[in-house]
Each structure stands twice: as C-alpha cells, then as structure tokens.
Structure 1
Amino acid sequence: MTAVLEVRGLTKRFVKGDADLLALRDVDLTVPAGAFLVLLGRRGCGTSTLLNLLAGLTLPTGGEIRYRGAPVTGPRVEVGYLSQHDTLLPWRDVRRNVEMPLELRGDPAPHRERAARELIRRVGLAGHEGRYPRELSGGTRRRAMLARLLAGGPETLLLDEPFSALDAPLRAELQADLLRLWQGSGQTVVFVTHDVDEALTLADRVVVLGGLGRTLLDTPIPLPRPRDPADPRFTTLRRALSAALL
C-alpha cells in the first residue's frame, strides 16, 4: 500500500534561553494511504509534538518527514489539522465558519454556501447554520469544527485529542460520526489520544509511544466495526495496549 506519510530519524528539540528540551528522538513511522492510525501515549510523550511536525506547523531538528515522497517544509493544502482547542471564529456563525476554507481558496459565494450546508448536514448540525459559537454546546462546536476541517477537502486528517474535553456519551457519538464520515472517503487519518478504549474503538492500527516518541508497540486492530468493548478480543487488545503503556 502506498505510503502517504513517512517519518525517518525524526528528532525535535525546543531551545529557549539556557533551556534545551528534547521532545522526540529518532522517530520512525509510516502511514499508508487510507489508514486510520491512532497514536496512543501518556501525556508528555511527544504525540502532539509529532502531530504538529506531520502538519508542518513546526520543523524538525533532525531527520525528515515526507508526504507522498515530498519533504514536509510547512503546512500543505492536502492535510487538515484539528486540535483539542476551540478554534471557531466567534464573530462568524456556523455556516460562515464552515465556509472559511472555501473562502480562502477563492470559491464563489453560491458554491461556498451549498458546500457548507451539505457538510453541516453530514455532521448532524442541520438547523444550526445561523448560530454563533457562544450559542453552541461543546459537542456542537466540535461538529462544526469537523465540518470546517472537511470543507477544505483534505486527503489526510491529523486530529489531536479532538474529543478529550467531552463527556463519555458525547465522545462516543462523535467517534461514531467520525468513523461514518471516514469510511468510504479514501482519506487517511492520524489520531492522537491518551485513552486506550478510544484507540481501540477507532483505529485499524495503533502505535503506542513512550518517552521521546519511542515506539513501544505497533499493532493492527483486526476487529469489525462497530466495536463492542465486551467482545473478548477487544478485552485482550485493551490489556496489550495498557501493558505497553506501563
């Protein structure tokens, strides 16, 4: 299968004044096209730093990242990034927030509006087009941000703990929504989480990272979707991932 992202010998240091923090060292990773890869690790192990590097938001100190064979030297239009933070523009309603990538691309207004309304419908927000972020619940804002991410038509989605601030029932709803939108799309997903059950619910492959981005476990998740946490195979994989994190 063709590799979309290739990481070789990746190292990242943050230097500020006399402080020199080594965040990642000699990380290797390959992400095939169409995969749903979850990076699982404890807080502070460098998963978010790695995702920022994959997105081209920061540059490595050493090693290289390639996207479809080309060096990553900055953000790319083919790659969409969604962080754990709320990034909706408060002065725009839902529709105009979702339209923003199309507006930046120069698409005509009628096309932007049609495309935004369709994406809003697909993420389950029909009827919320004219509402502002301050009027939305946390889960509704997440759905609006997901619609805006998809509006740019990225072929690869980088998601950094996008549901971590939500309660368990709402998180489960959004996980199901994300899988529904991804399946059949041909898109590649790299998803960061610290939650073992979330990793098992979403991924077709999980890479467990330790300190400095060291790979502790790299395993496929050969379970049919939707997945049942009561399935003995789910339980066995949960034990394996949890043990790798210790």
Structure 2
Amino acid sequence: MTSVLKTRKLHKQFVKDDQGIVALRDFDLDVEQGGFVSVLGRSGCGKSTMLNLLAGLTTPTSGEVLYRDEPVTKPRIEVGYLTQSDTLMPWRTVRRNIEMPMELRGVPSSARRERADELIERVGLGGFDRHYPRELSGGMRRRVSLARMLACDPETLLMDEPFGALDAQLRHDLQKELLRLWQGSGQTVVFVTHDIEEALLLGDRVVVLGRLGRVVLDETVDLPRPRDPDESRVDPRFVSLHRKMTDALREGAR
C-alpha cells in the first residue's frame, strides 16, 4: 500500500517561561492510503501536537512530516481537519458555514450551493440549512463541522477527538455516521481519541501513544465491518484487543 502521510524523527518543543517543554520526541508514523488509523493515548501524550504537525499548522523543532513524499510546511488543500472545539462561524447559517471552504477557493456560488445541499442531506440535517449555530444542538453542530470538512472532498481527514464532548448515544450515532461517509470513499483518516472502545470500533489500525508520543503499540484491528458496539463488546477478539490496549496505555504512562 502507498503511504500518504509519514513522519520521520519528529520532535516538537515549546517554550514556556523560558523553559523548553518537549511534546513529541523522535515520533515516527506511516499512514497508508485509504486506511482508518485511530491514535489512542492519555491526555498530555502529544496527540493534538502530532495532529497539528500533520496538518501543517505548526512546524517541527526537528524531523519532518511528508505528504505523498513532499515536506509539509503549511496546510494543504488535500487535507481536512476537524478539531475538538466548535469553530463554526456564528454569523453564518448551516449552508453558509459548509460553503465557506469552497468560497475561499473560488468555487462558483451555484456549485457551492449544490454541494452544500448534498452534504446537508448526507449528514442528516435536511431542513436546517438556514439555521444558525446557536439554534443547533451540540451534535448538530458537529454534523455541520463534519460536512464543512468534507465540502472540498479532501483525500485525507485529520480528526482530533471530534465527539469527545457528546453524550454516549450521540457519540455512537456520529461514529456510525462517520463510518458510513468514509466507507467506500477511498479517503484516509487519522482519528485521535483517548477512548479505547471508540478507537477499536472505528479504526482498522490503532496506534497507542505513551509519554512524549512514544509508540507503545501499533495494532491491526481485524474485526469485521460494520461494527455494532453492542455486538462487538462481547466478541472475544474485541475483548482481547481492548485488554491489550488497556495494558499499552498503562505502559505508556510509566
């Protein structure tokens, strides 16, 4: 398989109060085209730093990030990024928020509207196209953010705990929605989470990070799709993998 994203000896250090704080050290990762990689780790292990580096939003202290063997020095149009926080524009309607990345790229208004309407239906927001973010629930705003990320058909999706603030049932619904949108698309996904079950239900590969981004475990998830949470929880393979991830997180915290 072709590697879309690669990191080589990636190191990131921040300066705070005249002291250097290391977030990542010698981090290596290869992400194959069309794969769904869950990056699992506790808070403070460098997951978000890693994702910002992959997205080209920050530059490494040393080492490199490659996208299709080209150095990543700034955001790329082929890569979509869904952050933890709500970044919708409050003065724009649902449709206008989804249209925004296309507008920035000079897509004609008729094409923008057609694409936005298609995505509104795909993420289950039909009839809410003229609503403003303040008029939507948290789950609906996440759907709008997901649609906006998909608006320009990025070939790679970076997702930083996008459903972490939602209740369990809504998180489950959006997980299924994400998989429905991804399967058969050919898109590559790097999905950051601290939740073992989410990592296993979504990913076909789980990379467990320890402190400073140390890769503790890189495991293929051979569970059949589609994966129903209730059925998966009692699958012996799921139980075994869950135990393995739990042990890896404990090791990574040492």
Taking structure 1 as the reference length, the TM-score comes to 0.99
Deviations 1:191-215 (A, max 9, x none): 0000000000000000000000000
Partner of 1:165, secondary structure, is: coil
Counterpart of 1:235 in structure 2 is 239
Question: In the aligned structure 1, how far is the partner of 2:191 from the partner of 2:168?
Answer: 18
Question: In the aligned structure 2, how far is the partner of 1:131 from the partner of 1:159?
Answer: 25
Q: Equivalences for 1:28-177 in 2 at 5 Å?
A: 28-177=28-177
Q: Give how far 1:16 is off.
A: 3.2
Partner of 1:169, secondary structure, is: helix
Q: Which amino acid aligns with 1:154?
A: P
Question: In the aligned structure 2, how far is the partner of 1:87 from the partner of 1:152?
Answer: 17
Deviations 1:48-77 (A, max 9, x none): 000000000000001111000100001000
Q: RMSD value over aligned CA atoms? A: 0.6
Partner of 1:49, secondary structure, is: helix
Q: Give how far 1:158 is off.
A: 0.2
- Runs of 5+ consecutive residues of structure 2 not aligned to the other structure: none
Counterpart of 2:19 in structure 1 is 19
Partner of 1:147, secondary structure, is: helix
Q: Which amino acid aligns with 1:230?
A: V
The number of residues matched between the two structures is: 246
Correspondent of 1:245 among 241, 246, 249:
249
Q: Which amino acid aligns with 1:143?
A: R
Question: In the aligned structure 1, how far is the partner of 2:110 from the partner of 2:78?
Answer: 23
Is residue 226 of structure 2 the alignment partner of residue 222 of structure 1?
Answer: no
Question: In the aligned structure 2, how far is the partner of 1:198 from the partner of 1:154?
Answer: 23
Q: Which moved more, 1:9-18 or 1:235-244?
A: 9-18
Question: In the aligned structure 2, how far is the partner of 1:114 from the partner of 1:230?
Answer: 43
Q: Which amino acid aligns with 2:144?
A: A
Q: Give how far 1:226 is off.
A: 2.4
Q: Which moved more, 1:225-234 or 1:77-86?
A: 225-234
Deviations 1:66-90 (A, max 9, x none): 0001000010000000101000100
Q: Which amino acid aligns with 1:160?
A: D
Q: Give how far 1:152 is off.
A: 1.7
Question: In the aligned structure 1, how far is the partner of 2:168 from the partner of 2:108?
Answer: 40
Partner of 1:30, secondary structure, is: strand
Identity of aligned residues (%): 65
Partner of 1:34, secondary structure, is: coil
- The runs of at least 4 aligned residues of structure 1 exceeding 2 Å deviation read none
Q: Which moved more, 1:227-236 or 1:128-137?
A: 227-236
Deviations 1:78-124 (A, max 9, x none): 00001010001000000000000111111111111110000010011
Question: In the aligned structure 1, how far is the partner of 2:207 from the partner of 2:134?
Answer: 36
Partner of 2:99, secondary structure, is: helix
